[in-house]
Structure formats: structure tokens, C-alpha cells
Structure 1
Amino acid sequence: MAGEFVARSLEETRFWSRIMKEHSLFLRLGFRCEDTQLINEANQFYSIFEAIENRANAFTLGTDPSVIRRFNEEVHNAVSHIWAFKRKVLGLILSCKLPGGNNFPLLVDHVSREANYFRNRLEDLNMGRMEPLPDAIIDENVFFLRIMADHAKFISHLLDPSERSLVEQANNFSEEFDSLLFQARELDFMRPQSQTVPLLDQFLDQNRVSVKSLRDFKKTARDLIEACRIKSIIHPLLADHVFREAEHFLVIIDLFEASLTGQSAG
């Protein structure tokens, strides 16, 4: 169990600390030139999470669990602060105190939801809490399906309007994932009666197919953006960022499938 705790802690922190670091960059890029205090705060968070990422990568599976538990507490504190920063920024935008900025309110809410998710994961790890598999399958999919739906909307709005085919594809993905999210929430409302192995297995299979399609679309978009072959205001790192989150979701789906059916993930 100690080895599993260390492995899961490092896996979560290595992935999400990089995500938090990149959120800091994306928010900074969306601030106006005169928003110097917000820019400085974003830069500080970038440095904090870059240091956390480096420390997480330096630990090994043989690291003393007590060291990892203290590290998780430090990271939890940093994540709580960046969550508060993101919510502050959202409040400023929604009260029209940052006119002319380029951070969509939904994007700021989106990145704050991811910070809260990461914070909760760290708490669960340190407390030794583990949701029953049927509950975890539904809760994780509800969370990540909403994240994927948001990504499709961001891509659609950040592509140049003249990229009609790609905009249409992104809008179609947005509608598809909104529908999948509604289905997931309906499964949620029907629990515990909905938590049969056949229903959950079908739920995972259906979501996997859609996430793979979106992942492939994101990969194509990323490659085209990096090669300067399409018109957009999407930062190349943002394109790679959303691709990695889709890949992460697929790993989670496969792990759930393996636990549900007793087969090897792969």
C-alpha cells in the first residue's frame, strides 16, 4: 500500500503540476499590459509549479511515504492558492473590471475546476480515501467529459473564423460532449441502481470512442498549429496542453475498464 501511495501521488503531481504551471502562462497571456499585478502573480505561480514539477520528477518510487505525504501537503497549499487566484480573476472579469482582456470567463472557471480537482485528489491520497469503483467511474467521467466539452468550445472560438471546416468540427465535438455529459449526469442521478457492470462497461466504451476521436482531432490541430498551417490565436502549448488532457482521460478510462472487468489495462 505504501508503494501504491507513493506511485499514485507522484503520478498525480507530475501531471497536474505541469498543468497548473501552464495555466499560469495562459492566464498571463490573456491579461492586458496594464494588469501588472495580475501578471506578476501569474509569473509567481508559474515559478512555484515549475519547482513543484521538478521536485516531483526527482522523487522515486522508493521515496519514503512520509516524505511524499509532506510534499503532498505543500502542493495542496500551493494549489489552494492558485485556485483562489483563478477565482479572483474570474470575479474581476465577470464584474467588468478587466475590459479588453483575452481570458474567457469559461476558461478561467475551467482552470479553477481543474485546480480544485487536483486539490481534492491530494486530500484523498493523504487521507487514504478511495471511492468505491462504481462511484469513481461516474464522478471522474462527469468531471472529464465537461473538461473535454469545454476544450472543444475553446478551440472553436480561438480558431480564425475563416477556418470553417475546423470550426465546424470543433462545434460538433462540443455538441457531442455536451450530450455525453448529460448522459453521464443522468447515470449519476440514477445511482445506485444505475451502477451495474453492464451499464458502466457500456458507459466507458462509449466515452472511450468519443474521447479518442477528440484526442485525434486535437493532435491534428496541434500539429497544424505548430507547423503554422492554419490560422488561429491558439498558442502551440495550449494545443498540446488540451491534447495531453485527453490522453490522460483515456488512461483513466482504460484503468477503470480493467478494474471493472478484471482485465489488464492496455
Structure 2
Amino acid sequence: MDTIVNPIVERSLDEIKFWSRIMKEHALFLSLGFTFEQQQLIDEAQQFITIFERIEERLSRFSINTDLRQIQAFNYEVYQAAAAIWAYKRKVLGLILRCEIRTNNFPLLVDHISREAAYFANRLRELNEGVLAPRPEAIIEENVFFLRIMADHAKFIGHLLDPSERKLVEQAREFSHDFDQLLFQAVDLDSMRPQSETGPLLSQFLNQNKVSVASLRDFKKTARELIEACRIKSNIHPLLADHTFREAERFLEIIDLFEASLMNNNLNTSIQINH
């Protein structure tokens, strides 16, 4: 007899696996951007690397057949770690904006990674509340979040490439512009609710985003390969190139989940109408 898998357990493990690695890498990137006199901030970043490495190690002990209560307890522990690194990132951002420290970390990058920490913490909280799939209105909000992330990535890539890499810099700027426009479009669609919550508009919106994200994902993949082969000039760490590529892949997976959720909602609506 097949064991019934609790979708909350399965989704929780997937979120923690993906985002804990992201949080660990954020701490590494911050530490690499600090100057030698900012040792305390470097030490704090190293502590977060250790925290999320331990979370990854503990994660390997769980499976999709683990009891829900155990997963909820683990979710809460990881939630606390995500909230703590969010607070650390916001502290660093405040120090930069008040000109109390000078680092090689862009203020927008620190804000960017703090938004991702908040997103991770919020997902864990939602899962512990039993929220698996977003409602239609939340689909737009989550796309706003990820479209902004993708737009930021394009900006970072453009700024970290050597100016002599003119063609790649121009491509990054074009992606930045395209995703800014998609973001504005998503904000407009969000303000048109509830009329936009169902029907073809939302499906068209997701499909358009999928095409653009896939194109950016391919650009990031090419850039990652060129950086790893030392074939382009940049200040981009190879791990950072891979990091942004994985986040684009994640967004595509989430769009697929949204499309499946919309399809199920439309099917259920059709069945109700027919009855």
C-alpha cells in the first residue's frame, strides 16, 4: 500500500532545500564585499554560513514521509534563522545608507537579499498555517516579487561586468529594462483586481513572464559558463553567476505551479457550472 505524502511536508522540504542554500550564499557574498576593518560584520556573516550549513545537514535527515508535526517544528526553527539573517541584512543596509561603513556591496543588492530572506520566512510561516498554493490574487503579488528580483539581477550583472564587455553590458541593460516594464505591468494588473483574478488575463500574464524569464535564464547560463571558463572580464564570482541562474530556474518552476493551480481552479469551476 502506497504511503500518502502530505503536500505541506513535501513543499516545506523543497522550500528549505532551495532557500537555505541561497541564504548561506548571501552571507558569503556579503562577507566577500566587506573591507578588512569590518571584521565583526564578516564574523557575523560566517556565523550565518554555519547556521544554514547545519540546517542543510539536518534537512538530509528528513523525508517526504516525515510526520507533519516534526516538519512544522523544523519550519519554525528555520523561520527563526531566516528572520535573523533578514535583520542582519537590514542592519548592514542601514550602516551603508548612513555612510557608517564603505563596502563593495551595492545598497540595492543588500536590500535585494533582505527581500529574499523575508520571502523565505513568510513561506515557512504560510506552510505552518497550512497554506500550500496561493490564491489567484497572491499569484500577481508573487510575480511582482520575482519580477523585481529578475530586474535586479540584470542590473547587478550589468554593473559587475567589465565596461569593455560592451555587448554583454548592453544585453544586461536590455533585460533590466524589459523586466522593469514587466514589473510595472504586473503592478497595473494587480490594481485591476478583482476583475483580473480569473480568466485569460492571468494566464496570459504568466505565459508572458515565462517567456521573458526563460530568455533571462538562458543569458545567465551563458554568462555563468563564460565566467567559469574565464572567457569574459568581470567582478562576478562564479558562484554568484550560478546563484542568479538557479533563482531564474526557481521562478520558472513557480510559474508552472501557478499555471497548474489556475488550471485546477478553472476545471473545478467548470464542473460546478455543469452541475
Q: TM (normalized to structure 1)? A: 0.96
Q: 1:87·1:109 contact (CA, 8 Å) conserved in 2? A: yes
| Aligned mates of 1:13, 1:232 — CA distance in 2 | 31
- Return the offset for 1:135: 1.5
Q: Distance in 2 between matches of 1:122 and 1:162?
A: 43
The aligned residue for residue 226 of structure 1 is: 228
Match of 2:98 in 1: 95
Match of 1:11 among 11, 14, 38: 14
Higher Cα radius of gyration: 2
Shift of 1:130: 5.0
Residues of 2 paired with 1:137 and 1:197: CA distance?
A: 13
- Contact 1:94–1:105 (8 Å) recurs in 2: yes
How many corresponding residue pairs?
262
1:182 alignment partner, one of 177, 181, 184 = 184
Q: Mapping of 1:1-266 within 5 angstroms?
A: 3-99=6-102, 101-130=103-132, 132-262=134-264
Which residues of structure 2 form unaligned runs of 5+? 266-275
Cα gap change, 1:49 to 1:132, in 2 (>3 Å): closer
What's the CA shift for 1:2? 6.6
What percent identity do the matched residue pairs reach?
69
SS at structure 1 position matched to 2:6: helix
Instruction: Report the RMSD for the aligned CA atoms in angstroms.
Output: 1.4
Q: Which one-letter code corresponds to 1:144 in the other structure? A: F
Retained in 1: the 8 A contact 2:161–2:235?
A: yes
Compared CA separation, residues 109 and 87, structure 1 to 2 (3 A):
same
Provide the C-alpha distance between the structure 1 equivalents of 2:199 and 2:5, rounded to a whole number of angstroms.
Answer: 29
Q: Give me the whole-angstrom Cα distance separating, in 2, the residues matched to 1:149 and 1:185.
A: 14
Structure 1 segments unaligned to the other structure (5+ residues): none
